[in-house]
Amino acid sequence: MPPPNEYEGAPPPVANDLNTPSSFNVMNFNGQGFMGGDHLETGLYDSMATMHDYELSAGVISDTGTMQKKITASGDGIAIRGLQVGPHAYSYHSLWSFCPIHRTGRGAGVSIIWDSRIPFSNPYCDKSGRLAAITLHGPGKRALRLIGIYVYATPQADPAAALLLKNQLNDLILAAKAADIRYLVTGDFNEVPVWSDASVPGYHPSPYPIEYSICRLLKEHRQADMFRKLYPNSYGATRVDPVSGARTRLDHFWGPKAWARSGRSHMTVDSKRRVLCASDHCLSILRCSFKLALGGSHSAVRCVDSGPKQLRLCMSKLPPPQAEACV
């Protein structure tokens, strides 16, 4: 099999590109526990730096491996962190569905990170560390329910838990529909949708029981498999098996069909794992216009005053610097 291209789909977004208007960019990445244990600060910094570098508005990270005791968060699971880039300071909110104690070292945890300038409401985290959701708001009544999920790789090992996860996602979807809010579901589905991928070059099967299938649930809700709709002839593999080299499309974005039909949506898969290379999964990015996602321009959506600021420290009251003492 020939080596993968540098990217599958479209080229990645470029931060602060004056030649193109700012777009609503969302990333998806399975970190394989890269924010677990003592690696939280490094993994979180790398994630926020990636969001800055690619001008991402939000991101979902599955399999964080993060335990509740490792990060200070509100009762809703929300934490705020800053990122220093040169003279500028950036702020990011994050929502944490923590890895349960009994899952330590076995894979769990989902986090949603977003630009602090975007208003939000209704955070949700499940107790299994597999599901998280936040509503991002635009002008007026426009909003987007962003849902992150980490689906069980072997549902047969715990059928009750796998079915509960699917039902919880279904409840979130029904609630969003009842409130007339569009929703975007992304994460590691651990499934390759056979009905759409079997005829695509490079296809590698990953069978999944129908009764637990998240792809089938979203298809029933008439959502669009964004990569497949946008790039019907490109496989878009998001994981490369470190032993066999098999490439599978396990990580997904499913969103409104109107996004795929608009002609203003694009997706990128970092096939060579140049960014966030802590796992054998690839970073994937969905981008569309702010107006399509949240009903307004990027300046209208990013209305909370917590964006990048030039740091000017007042040092007039500090004593003059002293010469370093000789030892």
Residue 215 located in a structural domain: yes
CA 94/CA 89 separation, integer angstroms = 16
**pLDDT (0 to 100) of residue 323:** 40
Residue 137 located in a structural domain: yes
State the burial class of residue 157 (Cβ atoms within 10 Å of its Cβ: 0-12, 13-18, 19+): exposed
pLDDT(245) > 90 = no
Total domains, the chain: 1
Q: With b meaning 16 or more CB within 10 Å and e meaning fewer, what string describes 238-255?
A: bbbeeeeeebbbbbbbbb
Regarding predicted confidence, which is higher, 54 or 12?
54
Structure tokens at 45: 């910094």
CA 117/CA 114 separation, integer angstroms = 9
Query: Are 152 and 136 spatial neighbours (Cβ–Cβ below 8 Å)?
Result: no
Residue 321 located in a structural domain: no
CATH of the domain at 302: 3.60.10.10
Q: Which of 44-48, 240-244, 312-316 has the lowest average pLDDT?
A: 312-316
Regarding predicted confidence, which is higher, 1 or 152?
152
**pLDDT (0 to 100) of residue 305:** 62
Q: How confident is the model at residue 38 (pLDDT cuts 50, 70, 90)?
A: confident
For 179-212, where are the alpha helices, taking DSSP H only?
Answer: 194-197
Q: With b meaning 16 or more CB within 10 Å and e meaning fewer, what string describes 57-89?
A: bbbbbbbbbbbeebbebeeebbbebebeeeeee
CA 92/CA 117 separation, integer angstroms = 8
Residue 318 located in a structural domain: no
Query: Are 315 and 80 spatial neighbours (Cβ–Cβ below 8 Å)?
Result: no
Residue 238 located in a structural domain: yes
Bridge-based pairing state of the strands 24-30 and 58-62: parallel
Q: pLDDT of 119-158, one tens digit each?
A: 999 999 999 999 999 999 999 999 999 999 999 999 999 9
**pLDDT (0 to 100) of residue 68:** 86
pLDDT(17) > 60 = no
Cβ neighbours around 231 below 10 Å, total: 17
**pLDDT (0 to 100) of residue 311:** 39
Residue by residue, DSSP assigns 205-267 as -----GGG-HHHHHHHTT-EEHHHHH-TT-----EE-TTT--EE--EEEEE-HHHHHSS--EE
What is the maximum span of the chain, computed from C-alpha positions, in angstroms? Answer: 74
pTM for the complete prediction?
0.88
Query: Are 293 and 144 spatial neighbours (Cβ–Cβ below 8 Å)?
Result: yes
**pLDDT (0 to 100) of residue 143:** 97
Extended beta strands in 76-227, E state: 78-85, 88-97, 110-115, 120-125, 131-137, 143-150, 182-188, 224-225
Q: How confident is the model at residue 72 (pLDDT cuts 50, 70, 90)?
A: confident
Sequence-distant (6+) residues with CB within 8 A of 114 are 57, 58, 59, 92, 93, 94, 120, 134, 136, 146
Per-residue pLDDT, averaged over 269-292, amounts to: 88
Mean pLDDT, the chain, whole residue set: 86
CA 55/CA 80 separation, integer angstroms = 18
- 3-class secondary-structure state, position 2: coil
**pLDDT (0 to 100) of residue 130:** 96
Per-residue pLDDT, averaged over 220-247, amounts to: 92
**pLDDT (0 to 100) of residue 315:** 42
**pLDDT (0 to 100) of residue 6:** 63
Q: How confident is the model at residue 19 (pLDDT cuts 50, 70, 90)?
A: very low
pLDDT(207) > 70 = yes
Point out which residues pair with 285 in neighbouring strands.
27, 268
**pLDDT (0 to 100) of residue 12:** 74
pLDDT(185) > 80 = yes
Residue 322 located in a structural domain: no
**pLDDT (0 to 100) of residue 267:** 93
Per-residue pLDDT, averaged over 9-21, amounts to: 59
Q: Which residue has the tokens 């307004």?
A: 296
Q: Which of 254, 98, 249 is nearest to 172 (CA)?
A: 254
The whole domain housing 41 covers 8-310
Q: How confident is the model at residue 77 (pLDDT cuts 50, 70, 90)?
A: very high
